[in-house]
Structure 1
Amino acid sequence: MRREYSIPERLGGFGVAVAGAASVWPAFTAGTGLGLPCPLRWATGIPCPGCGLTTAAVDLAHGRFLASLGDNPAAMALAILTVVMVPLIVLRHLGLVAAPAPWSARARRRTYVAAAAAAVASWVFQLHRFGFL
């Protein structure tokens, strides 16, 4: 039987993967010399809404919470969501919490609008951080 996950649960699972990658990323880059440049910033000099996410995730993995907020607050939001969702996923797997109910079309629209607003806010933050605003 395939278990259905809600969008917040999927984001929480993604957060677990990001935390694992952020834990090994500094060693990987130090050992190989390879980095992960932002394609938009590399091509145009303009930061994208996701600029700083890798750095913010690494800062979070190493307990530098304020530095992470300064890099990209979205990483902190993902971390908080992950901390909340992982126990919920475990409880669902144990059968102690019911499967998620499907979202209504209205709830999905609100979520899409909120995600778009968050992306715009992140871009404004990055433009300000890099001196474009």
Structure 2
Amino acid sequence: MREFSVPERLGVFGLGVAANPLIVGLAVLTAAVPPLLLLRASGVLPPPVGWSDRARRRTGWGAGLLAGASWLSQLHRLGLG
């Protein structure tokens, strides 16, 4: 296995982030959730408020439209649409 110096190691990290920038958001979310859960469990934060029926319906439509757009995009990418 090849040994990397510190600047090269950061370069590899930078290439990895450039290839998949959403991983940074996932890392932040992973680091932020446990403290929030502890604060909620200890009573410092109030319990979550449920969404209204209207908000759930709008979110469902939005998710459905995104899924449909993804499906059409994949069909187009594969030359099937």
Interval of TM-score (by shorter of Structure 1 and Structure 2): 0.5 to 0.7
Counterpart check, 1:105 vs 2:60: no
Which digits, 9 at most, give the CA deviation of each residue in 1:70-99, with x for residues without a partner?
Answer: xxxxxx5xx577456434422322215433
Q: Which runs of 4+ in 1 moved over 6 A?
A: none
- Cα 1:107–1:115, aligned 2, differ >3 Å: closer, same or farther? same
From 73, 76, 79, the counterpart of 1:128 = 76
Unaligned runs of 5+ in 1: 1-62, 67-75
| Residue identity in the other structure for 1:101 | V
From 22, 33, 38, the counterpart of 1:89 = 33
Larger gyration radius, structure 1 or structure 2: 2
Q: 2:45 and 2:31 mapped to 1: Cα distance? A: 11
1:10-49 matches, cutoff 5 A:
none
- Cα 1:107–1:81, aligned 2, differ >3 Å: closer, same or farther? farther
Q: 1:80 and 1:114 mapped to 2: Cα distance? A: 25
Q: What TM-score do you get using the length of structure 2 for normalisation?
A: 0.54
RMSD across aligned positions (CA): 3.0
| Residue identity in the other structure for 2:75 | L
Counterpart check, 1:65 vs 2:13: no
| Residue identity in the other structure for 1:65 | N
Q: How many residues align?
A: 61
